[in-house]
Amino acid sequence: DAGVTQSPTHLIKTRGQHVTLRCSPISGHKSVSWYQQVLGQGPQFIFQYYEKEERGRGNFPDRFSARQFPNYSSELNVNALLLGDSALYLCASSYRRSENTEAFFGQGTRLTVV
């Protein structure tokens, strides 16, 4: 098992554009969470999805949205990109949605907005 995989690994977008980031969880994991990590800070929680439904949301604007597919993979969408959206976006999967469950992280997608 390759673990949690994210694509692409890097991308550069222009302000105002839209971006879609993708995440494939570990086989058998039904929960996917998304995080934004700005340089020098810890990961900031964006969303948690479990069984294709949003279960938790962080303090991010409505420009951020996500969904989970029947195979439990997930997409994070960001509209009207701002320079401040430049960050490492991390995806994590876990077997259950309970809060004491270990999360397994992907390698991240580095987004640069110019």
Partner 1 sequence: AQRVTQPEKLLSVFKGAPVELKCNYSYSGSPELFWYVQYSRQRLQLLLRHISRESIKGFTADLNKGETSFHLKKPFAQEEDSAMYYCALSGGFKTIFGAGTRLFVKA
- Residues found near partner 1 in the complex (CB under 8 A): 3, 33, 35, 40-45, 48, 55-58, 90, 92, 97, 99-100, 102-107
- 14/42 with CB nearer partner 1: 42
Nearer to partner 1, 40 or 84 (CB): 40
Collect all residues with Cβ–Cβ distance below 8 Å to 86 and sequence separation of at least 6: 38, 111, 112, 113
* Residue closer to partner 1, measured from CB, 35 or 72: 35
**DSSP, residue by residue, 11-38:** EEE-TT--EEEEEEPPTT--EEEEEEE-
Smallest gap from residue 112 Cβ to partner 1 (A): 20
**In angstroms, what is the minimal distance from the CB of 7 to partner 1?**
15
What does the alpha-carbon distance between residue 31 and residue 14 come to, in Å, rounded to a whole number? 31
Nearer to partner 1, 25 or 106 (CB): 106
In 3D, which of 106, 102, 103, 77 has the Cα closest to residue 91?
A: 106
Residue 14 CB, nearest distance to partner 1 (Å)? 29
Rounded CA-CA distance 93/18 in Å is 24
Considering the complex, what minimum distance in angstroms separates the CB of residue 74 from partner 1? 15
